[in-house]
Structure 1
């Protein structure tokens, strides 16, 4: 049998066999070859190059194409932009039955720190919609991570990206003018000053909003949420930014999103709920954050089954550590008023304090050494965020002790906490309070001038420590905690009193309540001076507000008992400061309402007794 070898011709097309009949040819090259500027053999109905590439071969539009300039082939960036735009339009069409939106202008995709698209036209008001709508696309998250972690690790199953588009309402918020750039500026000048758990350096790298996916959009929505004061006449739960964030949160969870940016956005939404008194949502959100750190394996990466993967830079490792500490702080702070149990466990000896805030912002590991958890409280030159961590550790230690004391009294058992250990706790709290306050300035006459106002970034750890002191003193100043049993009533059935040393400590606690409340009163006057400047108001932390309320409640009680003019004046100063902070955080109004209700109850009880 004879065999014929077909040698390749120009551009890789095979030559025709010499025994084959001559094929018919077109007069001009096909459209595809002209676009690619490749040599076309003009064979009908399909040229050799189009046949080899398995693409349609068209000769009909060659005359028209030859008369005009060839269009440039779309780049990968343009294709990514068009793909994101298509997803946005599809999402718009899905909601067409609810509202009729005007046509959208072209939407570019520049770097996130330089995003400056054309502003969107104002949309007509939409009818009320549910908090979140279930996605038609099922989650692709591997359930073996929760059902059988060993099987997940052995299979090395990858975590897929969430298959969900950015909601149109979120795009409407983030795509107006320079919203993203302004949001980043406001956030890093405000909230970041007291809660620096997002890397400013990594954010400035300029990741594209479209390339990063919906998690980054959710993070920026959370940044805008905590940076934008709530307008008068709008209740915080009804804030459109908050509603959009909660809806986006639910849709990302349903889509199986697991990323550090998603968790950071959830932290910011929780800060908003906590600062504006949105309960029980804030309490539930903190518990959800506690679950998420276990899923992601924070603060390291070995305990999460490889969800986040290994860190690649020092800044990324420090950012993960700070996210864990941020959730730890919120978990302890939200238990101040109710003394309930924590969600996160206590850190072990492998944990370290956050590094210097400036080193973290600049991404420079040489600017700050690593400090263990056993670092003395009097160590100088620690940044505000490590100080905030130290105050949260003292709060956790105090709340654990208080729960032990109250549980012992309920079950009529002797106190398991020794008095020396209790005295050591009080000494640590008072020492740390002194460390956080600026020292007085000596004058030329060897007298001390008034202390300068504290740095507003150091107010959260100072306020948290003073709240802890008031909580501890209040626990031991109450009559029921001076007995070994649950009943403080006198009589033969009353449980025996504590030891004389415990009774002495209870008396000292009464004095500590008064002195600490007056100390917070001085702090509130300094805070009022700071809040005159708008640049300082945006840095106000909601973690400062519990100490103001605890001081106001204590002064209110002391004034009702003795009627001292000094206490009444201090009470009004603290009340005035709380009223001023309500312009930034609405939870202050809730604190004022609690005191008002106590006044009404006291007046009603006094009136009933006088009849």
Structure 2
């Protein structure tokens, strides 16, 4: 096939034309087209592709060098954002918004949110109370508002919220919608965009994978949250109450998103304390989330500023206590794995940690009672530390056995409420499942030590509750299987 034929196939209506003389072409010995004038004067033809519909002057004025496309410009913006932040801040200062073309199957999964908002109500009544990193008021006014222009980042967030709010599909958590959203998040990463709404969608995906025990995806997604949040500079919202360029409400939402990531980073390592945390502990002067009630009422401008060094109180709110419990977990693990300066120093450090654990647990339980919350996430997270078999028998030395027993009995009461139907599986968040499982291990250990039939009955009751929760969160069913494995093998 000659060159002219190739040009007609690749770029229709475009034909090669010699820039030297625009004359008709002939062929040289090697089959390449040459115009008659160039052949006569012994010069080489230089061709460009031209459209016959264009005039000669327009062809001659066409630049030969490639023009930078919009995509290339946006890629350059992001390169400067990471390579020279000062230059970026003082020249461009704003990254382009995310623009994606979603598959019809994903849009069909979301549906018409103007008429079908059941999943939104379900999300804010079941998932949101334990991990309130979204501003409900802003979400309603700016994302659900039919007058608001549709944005790709908001569409991704809505999709992950629906995935989290929906009951466990018949095909399991690794359903079609799960993979559609995962692929869309990957496309969002490739689009060179950094937006808070995209990060919040990734956080929601991490909670979904954690609750359904989708590993190692859950662990890797949490790591993705850490890097994405760091790129957005969310750590500044924790250190400074007023962020330049953000309102108080926006700063609080960024701050809560950062704390949500830290909680996920600590919680994802509960089953294996040997893994290193991806996020370092914040300074003692870091700002905690404001009281949840004030946050829901959108009165954050009047909220008192709480710092991490302050002792826990019921006025702080559940999410603030959850953040403090996550910090406590990091310190417990650090006391376990770092070589002590001296045995006496280590003993005193562990005693302080255990005393803090007891105090924080008591406050979180009281906070739950005060606000009418049956299942309080910080108390269940604290319980996980109190009953686990940490090395050096630290908890055996300082935490009273009666304290462990009281909390284990509290988890048993919760298990009974779940199996009886007084507490539905929707009320249980993924952050509570680990503590419920550890209570079963506690009762199993006590049965192995004493041979008491009541301890075995309590262990079986907790296992039954986990199977009920498994209808909502698949991870709970896996925990129930691990109880059987521990009992059979004697690893208690």
Q: So what's the TM-score if we normalise by structure 2? A: 0.76
Query: Quick check: which one's helix share is greater?
Result: 2
2:441 matched residue in structure 1: 553
**For 1:450-469, what aligned pairs fall within 5 Å after superposition?**
455-456=372-373, 459-469=376-386
Q: Pick from 263, 271, 291: which aligns with 1:329?
A: 263
Q: Does 1:345 align with 2:280?
A: yes
Q: Deviations over 1:509-546 (max 9, x none)?
A: 6963x752562233232354267669853232111111
Give the structure 1 partner of residue 319 of structure 2.
385
Q: Is the 8 A contact 2:160 2:181 kept in 1?
A: yes
Measured against aligned partners, the alpha-carbon deviations of 1:165-223 in whole angstroms (never above 9, x if no partner) come to 23322211122475652222221111112111100111121445772411000000111
Give the Cα–Cα distance (whole angstroms) in 2 for the partners of residues 185 and 280 of structure 1: 30
Counterparts of 1:205-220 in structure 2, within 5 Å, are: 205-207=141-143, 211-220=149-158
Alpha carbons 2:120, 2:165 under 8 Å: kept: no
Match of 2:466 among 578, 582, 596: 578
Counterpart of 1:421 in structure 2 is 349
Report SS of the residue matched to 1:236.
Answer: coil
Matched, 1:508 2:446: no
Distance 2:183 2:377 in 1: 30
Please give the alpha-carbon distance, in whole angstroms, between the structure 1 residues aligned to 2:82 and 2:184. Answer: 23
CA distance in 2, matches of 1:560, 1:282: 33
- Whether 2:297 is the aligned partner of 1:362: answer yes
Structure 2: unaligned runs, 5 residues or longer:
1-70
Do the aligned residues in 2 keep the contact of 1:226 with 1:268 (CA within 8 Å)?
Answer: yes
Task: Give the Å deviation of 1:432.
Answer: 1.8
Cross-structure match for 1:591 = 479
> How far apart are residue 402 of structure 1 and its match?
1.4
Distance (Å, rounded) in 2 between the aligned partners of 1:311 and 1:580: 47
Query: Retained in 2: the 8 A contact 1:388–1:461?
Result: yes
Q: What runs of 5+ residues in structure 1 fail to find an aligned partner?
A: 1-136, 304-308, 440-450, 478-504, 604-611
The question of 1:525 aligning with 2:442 is answered no
Structure 2 CA distance for partners of 1:299 and 1:311, relative to 1, 3 Å: farther
User: Which stretch of the first structure deviates more once superposed, 214-223 or 528-537?
Assistant: 528-537
Is 2:173 aligned against 1:236? yes
Supply the RMSD in Å over aligned alpha carbons: 3.1
Find the partner of 1:539 among 424, 427, 452: 427
Instruction: State the distance in 1 between where 2:259 and 2:193 align.
Output: 22
* Separation of aligned partners in 2, 1:416 and 1:247: 53
What is the aligned counterpart of 2:308 among 362, 365, 373?
Answer: 373
TM-superposition CA deviations, 1:545-597 (whole Å, max 9, x none): 11122222232233234322232122122222222221221111111222223
Q: TM-score, normalised by structure 1?
A: 0.62
Is 1:188 paired with 2:124? yes
Could you say which residue in structure 2 is the equivalent of 1:492?
none
1:400 to 327, 334, 340: 334
The alignment status of 1:562 with 2:450, answered yes or no, reads yes
The 1:455/1:198 distance shift into structure 2, 3 A limit, reads same
How much does 1:250 deviate? 0.6
Quote the Cα distance in structure 2 between the aligned partners of 1:426 and 1:515.
Answer: 11
Query: Which of the pair has more CA radius of gyration?
Result: 1
Pick closer, same or farther for the CA change 1:582–1:475 going to 2, 3 Å. Answer: same
* Match among 416, 435, 442 for residue 363 of structure 2: 435
Pairing of 1:95-114 with structure 2 (within 5 A) = none
Q: Deviations over 1:265-298 (max 9, x none)?
A: 1000000000110010010011111101110000
SS for the counterpart of 1:278 is coil
Instruction: Give the one of 392, 406, 417 matched to 1:476.
Output: 392
May I ask how many residue pairs the two structures share in their alignment?
A: 414
1:23 match: none
Query: How far apart, CA to CA, are the structure 1 residues paired with 2:480 and 2:223?
Result: 27
Structure 2 Cα separation of the partners of residues 196 and 517 of structure 1: 30
**CA distance change for structure 1 residues 180 and 219 in 2, over 3 Å: closer, same or farther?**
farther
Question: Which residue is 2:13 aligned to?
Answer: none
- CA drift of 1:312 comes to 4.0
Give the equivalent residue in structure 2 for 1:164: 100
1:199–1:361 CA contact under 8 A, matched in 2: yes
Provide the residue aligned with 1:225 in structure 2.
Answer: 163
Q: Shift of residue 393 of structure 1?
A: 1.6
